[in-house]
Structure 1
Amino acid sequence: TTTTTTTTTTTTTTTTTTTTTTTTTTTTTTTTTTTTTTTTASPCSGYDAAFSTMSPTDDDCADVARGGTCSVTLTSTDSNDLTECVNADAATAFQFYCPWNDAYASDDSFIVSKLSFRCQTCGDITFEDEDEDGGELEGTLSWGPNLKTTSGASVIDESMLDGYAVQWVDSCFVGVNTTIAQVPKHDVQSTCCNDMEYSVEIEEEIPADAVAIKISPYKGSVILPAGRILYFTDNGGTMGTANGASQAEVGVVTYILSIVACVATSGAVN
């Protein structure tokens, strides 16, 4: 008898796979350099030439920092010049203000004392824009002769002036661009106000920043640094009225108060 034995061997093979993940982090550093440039505005070094003949004393307006004030003592005269229009029968101290920035071409300080002037055109100022194109004015500007007020009494008096300067002004009533016209005075005999006594034809483009027209007395080359203000209406502008009529004006007292309000918005009066 033959016996056969069969042996079966089972081999199990286990394979282990290991996965390695490598993470690379890149850090970028950005350096920002900020350069700040500080510009110091030049100081004011005086005031309008209209005050130069008023025997100024106690004058501390020769060197005034931007946003600062100064004072000058002035005395009016009877020398038939524009000093008669300054409200100072006796020696009077007036306050001046140096604009907060040097955006204006002049280095003059502006007078800001209340009731500084006693000359202004009488009656209404009228103008009607006949140009339908926006940004342009065309029409007749009319106003009355000079009214001088002293100690509460007002009279028609042009003895101290040669005529009237018509100027564009900005929201601070500072001249913009060139003078529109200079209109010589008439030989006005009437003691009553005729607010159509003077007129000038305007046909001009409205300068940038101009919001009103100012009418001021002039003598020789000197223009009184105050006047009546007319807020014009551009007939062709987006804010224009149907006929472009403009009769809203402010007097000299309001003019001075408005300057104070204006400079206060661009830097407090110190």
Structure 2
Amino acid sequence: MGWLRARRLVLLAACLGLCGERGALGASFYGESYVGLNIIEVSSELSLQLKFQTSKPQGLLFLAAGENDYCMIELLSGNLRAGHEDDIPSEAVFIVRTPPVHGYLQRSLSEEGSLGTDEKSPLIFTQQDIDDGYIHYVQTTPDQQQDCFLLDVMNGFQAVSRLEILVDIVPKWIPLAVQNFTVQEGGSKLLPEDYFKIPSKHFEGLDCEFVLLTPPKHGSVENSHFPRVKLMKFTRKQVIALS
């Protein structure tokens, strides 16, 4: 989210989705596509509220361009960068307005010949800190899927306020939701895909291998194409194909 002063053009660009609150305008962008908003010259502040979501490590997030200058926010190799035509990285300042809920930001300063120092939850850091790899997000609260924090960005020329950074948290272990089932005596039961759900978008389409640590005591697990051959392991693709 952000505000800008007297800009003529706002450009929202490549490789990201733009989505608002419930009932607000939403759009998706791919490749080199973008949307541009022409804004008339104004003497006071103009406010725009934008929300971005992207799975790409590269991409232009926001560009405000006038006749003689510009201000942009982009991702470069997964790092956030605020830029201006006369920008100096050490003068581009990020101010933490709302810290993360399920983790914290950390500034790690590594020095030659020493272990360096760590600053937990810095309130202010610069673009140079990010470029040098000093700023990290550290996730702490277990069983969370997403986190966010708000930043103000200033570089001496323009300012963007309440820039919301969303953090997708990838589970350390593959989550698996299984079901019990009933089989008639002397019969068999097809194990459908729903019995082996992986409730995480980060593992969609993953071909997992299931290994039986303890096999059944009064039966066996078999492939219906190869009956009477006991299995000690099978894959997710095999379950889907036989469902």
**TM-score scaled by length of structure 2:** 0.29
Larger of the two Rg values belongs to structure:
1
Q: Which has the higher contact order (CA 8 A, sep 6+)?
A: 1
